[in-house]
Amino acid sequence: MKPIIIVENLSKQYRLGNIGTGTLSHDLRRWYHRMRGLEDPYLKIGETNDRTKKGTSEYVWALKDINFEVMPGEILGIIGKNGAGKSTLLKILSKVTGPTTGGIHYNGRIASLLEVGTGFHPELTGRENIYLNGAILGMTKTEIKSKLDEIIDFSGVERYIDTPVKRYSSGMMVRLGFAVAAHLEPEILVVDEVLAVGDAEFQKKAIGKMQDVSNKEGRTVLFVSHNLSSIEKLCHRTIVLKNGGINFEGKTNEAIRSYLANMSNQSKNIMENIIILDEVVLIKKVTVNESECQNIIITGNNSTLEVRIIGTLYEKQNMCFEILLKNEREEPLALFNKEFAEFEMPTYEAGEFEIVRKISLPKKMNKGIYFIDIQLTKPLEKFYVLISNAITLNCSGYISNSGFTYRYKDAGVMLLE
């Protein structure tokens, strides 16, 4: 079977600074080299797209040497950290912008949902925008009309369909945008993280529709998301982007494992993720097992954490210490809050304070990566401090006396005694 999308040596370069498209001198130099049949001189320079580091070049490669193919009816996932190049890749695939080098070969029409309001004219009504998008895709008025009721019903915005979309909320805009893109029968559907704007009910509905589009109608879907559960549930194959290049390409479960392992290896200070939600408290230091490093390797036979928080209170407060254990998809697994469970609310006087807690994790945990949030709260009322993904636990799994390692994802998080 012939691929519906072929991406060959695709690269995209941007110039940093106030002038994004270059200067007159750069344009003249490019023109001079092009007239002589020489390579663009500015393609020989440029740095990797690592947003965390200051570079010396004013040129950066948002994408560099991307190669992959997508087959008809396939759902391809694309994951990576913010700034990895996911949105740039989708914009090039959707023909919103062009590549610097390389090319893409298509074999079908493309509908895209890249951000809230993509393809909509704010002054036109929802109904008029449906016809506009259909016309752009090359559909006749009769074809669009036959799909109109289905689009309106799926979007759930029937009451506002004859109202200009500039008065729609972002959630309503996404609902209508996805309904239009999915129902107007493009051969290729490109969906960015924009679905996160919708509510949980609509996200579930949209994922179901993308599955139907692929499995029943044989259309191709390119899906970008930070929700790894959705990626795993929906995608046949996944690409992991890192600093503008392909870091991994293969089966979705293996791609997610590679992505999470790469993130856990980039160990940072626990305090980097801290959010102070009430200025009555100041946190000075947080350690786990006497280390300020996020990444901790544990075994299922030895899984005790000692968390120490040092800070200052400007007023007397009742506070509880909590930790939230999450799986690799950041879904909650367990909450540890000794004081709240025993109906004891500790009181801390104004001034310096230190909280030390020892937490015993389940001894027979499944092999994998887990995350822990650290929280200071007044349960059911307010949060004082939240440190999201403060700790990354790299669990080697429970190892029995016979050498058996508990590592079966479909069997649950822990082995019960």
How does pLDDT run across 283-294, given as a tens digit for each residue? Answer: 999 888 887 776
Average pLDDT (218-235) is 83
How does pLDDT run across 327-361, given as a tens digit for each residue? Answer: 877 888 888 887 776 667 888 899 999 999 888 87
Question: Vertex 129, ends 206 and 141: CA angle to 5°?
Answer: 100
> CA nearest 328: which of 275, 372, 293, 271?
372
**Cα–Cα distance measured from residue 266 to residue 285, given in angstroms and rounded to the nearest whole number:** 20
What pLDDT score was predicted for residue 77?
A: 92
Higher pLDDT, 47 or 25: 25
Q: Look at residue 47 and tell me whether its pLDDT is greater than 60.
A: no
Higher pLDDT, 99 or 329: 99
What pLDDT score was predicted for residue 210?
A: 84
Backbone angles phi, psi at 195, to 5 degrees: -60, -20
Average pLDDT (288-305) is 69
**Cα–Cα distance measured from residue 329 to residue 108, given in angstroms and rounded to the nearest whole number:** 34
Q: Look at residue 42 and tell me whether its pLDDT is greater than 80.
A: no
Q: Look at residue 12 and tell me whether its pLDDT is greater than 80.
A: yes
Q: Look at residue 20 and tell me whether its pLDDT is greater than 50.
A: no
Strands (E), 341-381: 347-348, 351-360, 368-378
What pLDDT score was predicted for residue 39?
A: 67
Average pLDDT (116-133) is 85
DSSP state, residue 38: P
Can you give the pTM of this predicted structure? 0.62
Buried b (16+ CB within 10 A) or exposed e, 363-396: ebbbbbbbbbbbbbbebeeeebbbbebbbbbbbb
Contact 377, 319 (CB under 8 A): yes
Instruction: Please give the C-alpha separations between residue 346 and each of 324, 377, 379, in angstroms, as whole numbers.
Output: 19, 11, 12
How does pLDDT run across 154-187, given as a tens digit for each residue? Answer: 888 889 999 998 898 888 888 888 888 888 778 8
**What is the DSSP secondary-structure string of 371-407?**
EEEEEEEETTTEEEEEEEEEEEEEE---B-TT--B--
SS3 for 9-27 is EEEEEEECCCCCCCCHHHH
Highest mean pLDDT (candidates 31-40, 131-140, 232-241, 257-266): 232-241
Q: What is the mean pLDDT of the chain?
A: 80
Q: Look at residue 409 and tell me whether its pLDDT is greater than 70.
A: no
Higher pLDDT, 346 or 409: 346
Average pLDDT (187-198) is 75
What pLDDT score was predicted for residue 128?
A: 92
What pLDDT score was predicted for residue 241?
A: 92
Higher pLDDT, 41 or 98: 98
Q: What percent of the chain has pLDDT over 70?
A: 80
